[in-house]
Every structure is written in structure tokens, then in C-alpha cells.
């Protein structure tokens, strides 16, 4: 029994760490206090900015639609809520974790606009955090929903 409790606490600690880190990285992206010329690794041009803005808008719209598709099933933590169902409609029909992937799009869009080493570090860090969160969430979903494995095989991403 002790081993199970210890493993459970370790998983919960990891979940809390992933969520807090994810929100800190996103906050740092939007604060972007390092827009110094010395940190920029590529010359800027107006078309790059438009492209970055397009990717950010695409990501934000995708996040909004994905949240709407999830409805009451939404949680910042990888473990699904108690009375949830497996969502397989909307973006979830094609992508198994659209909120995470659209969040990556927003991060990449910000990177494209600023092209700084700091934003590159934040984008890579966010991708690593979200991939870890996806892996943990898939363990939970696989244990909770009998048909998750079949659903996962049907989705493209």
C-alpha cells in the first residue's frame, strides 16, 4: 500500500510541476522582456512578423475551439476529471491533444516574431513540457477509457 501511495504522490508532484512550468513559460513568452537587439539571431522583416501573427491567431483560435469541444472535461492537469467522457469530436476527431499542439503553434509564432535566443529557449522548453504532459495524460486516458487505444490509432497526431 505504501508503494502505491508513494507512486501516486510522485505522479501528482510531477503533474503540478508540469502545469506550473507550462504557465510560467507561457507568461514569459507574453511578457517578452528580452526584446534586446543583442539577443536577436536573425534580421527582422515585416513579412516574418505577419507570418508570426498569423500562426499565433491560428493557434489561439484552435485553442478556443478545442476548449469548446472539451466542454466540462477541461482541466489543466493531465489526469482526467472523475466524471468525464472521452471526447472524439471537433478537433479531437483528428488530433488527440489539440490544446497542447495549438499552444505550441502560439509559442512558435511568438518565436518567429521576435527571433531571440530567449524565445527559442522558451519554445523548446514549452514543447518538452507539453510532450511530457501528453505522455502522462495518455497513461491516464488509456487506464480510464477502454476505447482510448482504438481512438489513438484513428487520430493522425
The torsion angles phi and psi of 40, rounded to 5 degrees, stand at -75, 135
pLDDT in tens, 110-139: 988 888 888 899 999 999 999 999 999 888
Q: Which residue has the higher pLDDT, 133 or 31?
A: 133
Residue 35 above 60 pLDDT? no
Residue 149 above 90 pLDDT? no
* Cβ–Cβ < 8 Å for 59, 109: yes
Residue 46 above 80 pLDDT? no
Q: In Å, what is the CA distance from 90 to each residue of 62, 64, 97, 110?
A: 10, 12, 12, 26
Strand partners, 40: 116
Residue 14 above 90 pLDDT? no
Q: Looking up cell 482510448, which residue turns up?
A: 148
Amino acid at each position: 500500500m505504501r508503494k502505491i501511495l508513494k507512486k501516486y504522490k510522485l505522479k501528482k508532484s510531477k503533474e503540478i510541476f508540469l502545469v506550473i512550468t507550462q504557465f510560467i513559460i507561457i507568461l514569459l513568452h507574453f511578457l517578452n522582456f528580452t526584446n534586446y537587439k543583442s539577443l536577436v539571431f536573425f534580421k527582422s522583416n515585416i513579412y516574418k512578423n505577419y507570418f508570426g501573427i498569423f500562426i499565433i491567431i491560428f493557434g489561439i483560435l484552435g485553442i478556443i475551439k478545442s476548449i469548446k469541444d472539451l466542454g466540462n472535461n477541461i482541466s489543466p492537469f493531465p489526469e482526467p476529471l472523475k466524471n468525464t467522457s472521452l471526447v472524439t469530436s471537433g478537433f479531437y476527431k483528428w488530433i488527440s491533444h489539440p490544446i497542447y499542439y495549438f499552444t505550441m503553434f502560439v509559442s512558435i509564432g511568438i518565436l518567429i516574431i521576435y527571433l531571440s535566443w530567449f524565445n527559442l529557449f522558451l519554445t523548446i522548453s514549452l514543447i518538452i513540457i507539453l510532450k511530457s504532459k501528453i505522455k502522462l495524460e495518455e497513461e491516464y486516458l488509456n487506464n480510464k477509457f477502454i476505447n482510448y487505444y482504438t481512438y489513438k490509432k484513428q487520430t493522425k497526431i
